[in-house]
Structure 1
Amino acid sequence: MVEDEDGISLWMPEIPAEPVADEVLANAYGRFASQEMMDPGWFNRGMLRHRVVATDRIGGTAPLREEGVVPESLRSQCEGVWRARHVILDALDRLPLVLSHGDALPRNMIRQEQDQVVAVDWGQLGHNTVGADLATLALYSSAEIDSLVEAYVDGLAGAYQANKPMVRYATIHTMALIAVLRASRAVASKQDIDGYVSRLRKAEPVLVEASR
């Protein structure tokens, strides 16, 4: 840290980015979630519920009804998930809260060093439902959801009495809500529509499972 008449400059070492395998990330997320850390008073918590409320303000899935945005069958699945959003949120609230990066996009996991993953962008660090970080990864991953769940549970190593069915349920339902609300808000704001709708299409099997 350098302070001069222009202010304070914070310097950090440059860490070259390298791709990290999705199963490695899933395992690292599980290991991170297994750690206990007290909330210092500023931890993020309940972000998914806040985002659902914000999406309600733009009409929920209404933006997805815009002609040509998503096929009718996919839109029907989105609306099914959205109708169940409060039931899903209440069910997720009953699951263990774990330490969470909060913005666990693959681009924020910049390299692997031995068995550790170097992560950046910690602005949403906090406590979230078990599997929350994994749900974000799964939206961007081409790996099978069950292989990601297995790697995450192996990382948890029994912490919080979490098991594969619990983590899979949490991941599927969190992933479904994230996919729907992000796509709807992207269409409403006219920002990165193709990217979010593409991930929504890829998540259709998850939407079907979560809306049952």
Structure 2
Amino acid sequence: MPWHPSPDWQALTPGTGQATGGVWRTPDGAVVKRLLPGVEDPRHHAYWERQALVASSRIVAGTRGLRTAECLGVERDVDGITVRMAYVAPSAWAPEGLAAALGRFAACSVAEPAWGARDVLRDRLATVERRGGWSVLTRASRATPAIEALWKHRDNALAVLDALPQVPTHGDAHPVNLLGRDGDDVVAIDWEQFGLGPVGFDLAYLLLGVEVPMDELVAAHGGEGREVRRGTAIVAAYTGVSRAAWALTQPDQGDHLARLARLSGVVEEAAQIVVPR
């Protein structure tokens, strides 16, 4: 019999992950996420089983700074995987508090699992390249010398990131995923892209989702400031420009172009880092 949600479950979202088939809240207070088969490469950022493996392994159930909610069960069937987690109540977080939590998480020692995401930005840029790169920004007169330099020297940017300390990363540290609170630590959801990545990776995603300057977030994050700043600037610049280029191909462009304009200083700084001297 095909899997289907119970009629007394409340739908929370249709799911935004590539492998997510829906999210519901049950009458007993659990959250159920349905995962559907998709990308099979366990190192790819969109590997379809990763959220279930994060939950069942409890690899980040007790980490400092950032952790998962309690896993209540993982069930597999021929059509997919059903993950049950404890409900995470939303909590008000200042961006600086989130940055500090991400810094403590990055300082944790977590053994890399065989299914952890790797090379997320490299994979994403390869996809952008197959789709024509950032040429749409040039055609729309939105490209700047710094943007053009970033695209030309993207291989050097990836080499800089590879040389940075590789730390535990949530992979999609947007404020909507940094949801709950346990003291000074964050209870996060949607660990689809968890793995090891360059220091500053998670902070870059946070930067793209808040209105706080990078200086303040880097200071709150802590750690080796120069390395954190380099990782944050590069990941934020490449991700922000790629999102803006994608937005120009969509009927609803959202706020990606406005965010790119606000990110101009970070884009300039990233270009200064990656352009060979």
TM-score using structure 1 length: 0.84
Aligned partner of 1:132: which letter?
F
Q: For residue 148 of structure 1, what is the aligned residue in structure 2?
A: 217
Aligned partner of 1:146: which letter?
D
In structure 2, what is the Cα distance between the partners aligned to 1:93 and 1:192?
35
Alignment partner of 1:170: what SS?
Answer: helix
Give the CA deviation at 1:165: 1.4
Give the CA deviation at 1:34: 1.0
Q: For residue 111 of structure 2, what is the aligned residue in structure 1?
A: 38
Instruction: Give the counterpart of 1:174 among 235, 245, 251.
Output: 235
More strand by share: 2
Instruction: Give the counterpart of 1:96 among 165, 170, 188.
Output: 165
Give the CA deviation at 1:103: 0.6
Alignment partner of 1:45: what SS?
Answer: coil
Give the CA deviation at 1:33: 1.0
Give the CA deviation at 1:111: 2.6
Higher relative contact order (CA 8 A, sep 6+): 1
Contact 1:55 1:184 in 2 (8 A): no
Deviation readout 1:110-163 (Å, 9 max, x if unpaired): 13232111100001100000010001111122112111111111xx4xxxxxx1
Aligned partner of 1:17: which letter?
P
Q: For residue 204 of structure 1, what is the aligned residue in structure 2?
A: 264
> Relative to 1, partners in 2 of residues 1:184 and 1:15: Cα closer, same or farther, differing over 3 Å?
same
Give the CA deviation at 1:180: 1.2
In structure 2, what is the Cα distance between the partners aligned to 1:42 and 1:201?
36
> Relative to 1, partners in 2 of residues 1:12 and 1:26: Cα closer, same or farther, differing over 3 Å?
same
Alignment partner of 1:35: what SS?
Answer: coil
Q: For residue 159 of structure 1, what is the aligned residue in structure 2?
A: none
1:121-132 to structure 2, matched below 5 A, reads: 121-132=190-201
In structure 2, what is the Cα distance between the partners aligned to 1:113 and 1:199?
31
Between 1:87-96 and 1:194-203, the stretch displaced more is: 194-203
> Relative to 1, partners in 2 of residues 1:123 and 1:77: Cα closer, same or farther, differing over 3 Å?
same
Taking every aligned residue pair, what percent have the same amino acid on both sides? 36
Unmatched tracts of structure 1, length 5 or more = 157-162
Aligned partner of 2:155: which letter?
H
Give the CA deviation at 1:2: 9.6
| 1:60 and 2:133 matched | yes
In structure 1, what is the Cα distance between the partners aligned to 2:259 and 2:226?
24
- Root-mean-square deviation (CA), in Å? 2.3
In structure 1, what is the Cα distance between the partners aligned to 2:115 and 2:252?
30
Number of equivalent positions: 197
Unmatched tracts of structure 2, length 5 or more = 1-72, 273-277
Deviation readout 1:17-38 (Å, 9 max, x if unpaired): 1331111111111111111122
Q: For residue 226 of structure 2, what is the aligned residue in structure 1?
A: 165
